[in-house]
Amino acid sequence: MEKSKSISEATFPEQFMKAVRYYLPTIMVAVGVLLAWESLVTVFDIQQFLLPKPSLIGSRFMTEINLLLDSESRSLLFEATGATFREALGGLVIGCSAGILVALITARWTVITEATMPFAIAANSVPIIAFAPIMNNWFGITNPVSKMAIVSIIVFFPTMINTVRGLTLVDEHELELMHSYAASPFKILRSLRIPNALPYIFSALRVASPLSLIGAVVAEFFGGPRATLGVFITQEASGFDFARAWTAIVMASLIGISFYVTVLIAERIFMPWHQAEQSSD
């Protein structure tokens, strides 16, 4: 309580300094790793196909950025980034929505939950990515839907399982309270089960967001249009331009991080009580 007060009353420079102090160690570690990487590669004269220097990767990036800014030309890297972003995001949205929806339906009828959960848990422990070639076959190798499909399936199971848990693992007394009000099952769902499930859903989304990107990129390894990050990586690697392949790896990481951060922000917005509770510990 006092904490939140002091934050809201702090002036902007104070806040800024606080943020700097908070993030400084992280930034220093990042810079340190990059410097060590650069100097180790130089000192030990490591072949660039094993590990290119960060500076070389950086210069490849500049080339692509110049291509992007120049209206006459096109940047394959950024086109690929856009395509993979759309695949991963599409799959993530479809898979998570379906997972939450199915959980809401099955949790309404305990019998269905009990019948389906073992299958969901089994499916969740299967390497679903192995189905990528089959999805490529079903939907067409250059069709983004084939990648969205595999991503959807990958994120569906953890989301569904966690949501079912959140909807059913309700405190006994909190449920009895609802019965004491003679609340209808719908009102119990809305006022107790769904809010109770929110932390479970968000922890599923935290897991699902990087999974969606892994799914999309690995599915592209099995084949896809030239302008996708997975294909870009395999092509550049087989053409021995490893620094260029690395730019795609960096872009994939950035997409993954952006998904994760979005989930964290959504979490703060949808669960204000949770955030405060955690920071008080």
Partner 1 sequence: MAEVKNDEQHAIFAENVYKIFNPKTENEVVALEDVNLTAQPGEFISLIGPSGCGKSTLLRLIADLITPTSGTLHINGKTPHQSRLDRDYGMVFQAATLYQWRSVQKNVELPLEIMGYPNTVRQQRAREMLEMVELEGFGKHYPWQLSGGMQQRVSIARALAFEPSLLLMDEPFGALDEFTRERMNMELLRIWRTANVTVVFVTHSISEAVFLSSRIVVMSPRPGRITNIVNNTLPYPRDNDTRELPQYFQTVTEVRELLRDAHEVE
Give the residues lining the site for partner 1 (CB under 8 A). 1, 171, 173-174, 176-183, 187, 191-192, 195-196, 198, 271, 273-274, 276-277, 280
Min CB(276)–partner 1 separation in Å: 6
Cβ nearer to partner 1, comparing 100 with 150: 100
Does residue 45 sit in helix, strand or coil? coil
Min CB(197)–partner 1 separation in Å: 11
Provide the 8-state DSSP code for 72. Answer: T
Min CB(134)–partner 1 separation in Å: 42
Cβ nearer to partner 1, comparing 21 with 179: 179
Provide the 8-state DSSP code for 228. Answer: S
Question: Tokens standing for 81?
Answer: 């980034």
Min CB(183)–partner 1 separation in Å: 5
Cβ nearer to partner 1, comparing 1 with 43: 1
Burial 7-43 (b: 16+ CB within 10 A, else e): eeeeeeeeeeeeeeeeeeeeeeeeeeeeeebeeebee
Min CB(271)–partner 1 separation in Å: 7
- How far apart are alpha carbons 54 and 46 in whole angstroms? 13
Min CB(180)–partner 1 separation in Å: 4
- How far apart are alpha carbons 230 and 245 in whole angstroms? 9
**At residue 12, what are phi and psi to the nearest 5 degrees?**
-60, -50
Cβ nearer to partner 1, comparing 159 with 196: 196
Reduced 3-state DSSP string for 120-173: HHHHHCCCHHHHHHHHHHHHCCCCHHHHHHHHHHHHHHHHHHHHHHHHHCCCHH
Cβ nearer to partner 1, comparing 108 with 274: 274
Cβ nearer to partner 1, comparing 34 with 170: 170
Question: Tokens standing for 268?
Answer: 């703060």
**At residue 250, what are phi and psi to the nearest 5 degrees?**
-65, -45
